[in-house]
Amino acid sequence: MNVPVVHANVTIEQTAAKKRPQLMYLSREEIVEVGGSSSTLYVEAITNALSLHAQGKYVQPLKPYLRTQDGNGHIADRIIAMPAHLSGDDAVSGIKWIGSKHDNPVVRGLERASGIIVLNDPESNYPIAVMEAGLISSMRTAAVTVVAARHLAKSGFQFVTCLGCGYIAKAQLYSLLQQFESIEVITLFDVNKEAAVQLASILSKQFNRVDFKVADSAEEAIRSGEVIVTCTVTDTPYIPFEWIPKGAFVSNVSIMDVQKDVFLLADKVVVDDWDQSNREKKIINQLVLEGSFSREGLHAELGEIIIGRKPGRENDDEIIILNPMGMAIEDIACAKRIYMEAELKGLGTRLDLY
């Protein structure tokens, strides 16, 4: 029996359409729509990613920094490429391409950092999604602090201090407040006092159970904190060990705020990844080059604590510092969760590759 040519052509076209590679594009607004502003999604994804990290179930080349200024450029002015692969049931490969200029908010009226995340199918290596990275990056960074606080902060902590009051700080405090009902007081400090006042106003509308205070100095803010989070763009360390209260947990998000003696005198120093932390002449790298700190002096990588290989906080007097450089596996783990939610809800813009 002869099959009509027109039918054969339709079949071929339909088959070709099914095989045509497509990307899902997600804007920040679409990421929010699929639940990407919820701290719980990120906390779950980060916990899983760090657990896989501790088990060696990942591939993560050291991220290169693209700097176009001379040696006198600001430390926050760079573009970073962050590729990674995670194994397991939710295997995924991807890369975050994120740029930063410290003067974007003041000079250009823009957020300091911007970027995209590309996800790749781990079987074919074809790209399957492109999405805005700023929201994911800030929320996954906050989720690292949340996960770390569960293991490294005093149980039932009530007093939080945040230094720097920009976009990253908002995500950090929003996530902490969502995840820890025990928080009663948040003390803010920013060299631009108005930024601290504005952030306090924004957060107080949603979390009216909390007392928000604006400190007149970094020292005043730090001395009042049980959990201390740094969210600045400083390239000059300014926090000495003597300011840090006994029993405090410091999430050193912006990396360059604490002075060298903090790492040498703290009861426990924790990083997300030793190789990522010991580079780019950040404080830990400076100490290693000077011969005063080493891998042996490190208490643990955070994933080791999560899976129980190393202990977290062991008493209420310990001063513990987390130095989270930020890892690509964190970004792609969170982006994969968002991609899956968008697939379920039929959201996002589909783009043909060719």
CA distances, 126 to each of 27, 34, 63, 249, 354 (Å): 20, 23, 21, 42, 12
Catalytic member of 63, 96, 282, 310: 96
Count other Cβ atoms within 10 Å, centred on residue 81.
Answer: 15
How far is it, in rounded angstroms, from Cα 154 to Cα 137?
26
SS (H, E, C) 263-330: HHHCCEEEECCHHHHCCCCCHHHHHHHHCCCCHHHCCEEHHHHHCCCCCCCCCCCCCEEEECCCCHHH
Counting Cβ atoms within 10 Å, is residue 13 exposed (0-12), middle (13-18) or buried (19+)? Answer: exposed
1: which 2 tokens?
């029996």
Q: Where are the strands (E) in the chain, listed by range?
A: 22-26, 58-59, 65-66, 78-86, 92-100, 113-120, 127-132, 159-163, 185-189, 211-214, 227-230, 249-251, 268-271, 300-301, 320-323, 349-352
Our answer to whether residue 213 is catalytic in this structure is no
Which H or E run includes 206?
A: helix 193-206
Count other Cβ atoms within 10 Å, centred on residue 141.
Answer: 23
Report the candidate in 336, 343, 354, 337 with the shortest Cα–Cα distance to residue 122. 336
Query: How far is residue 335 CA from its own chain's centroid?
Result: 12
Active site residues: 96
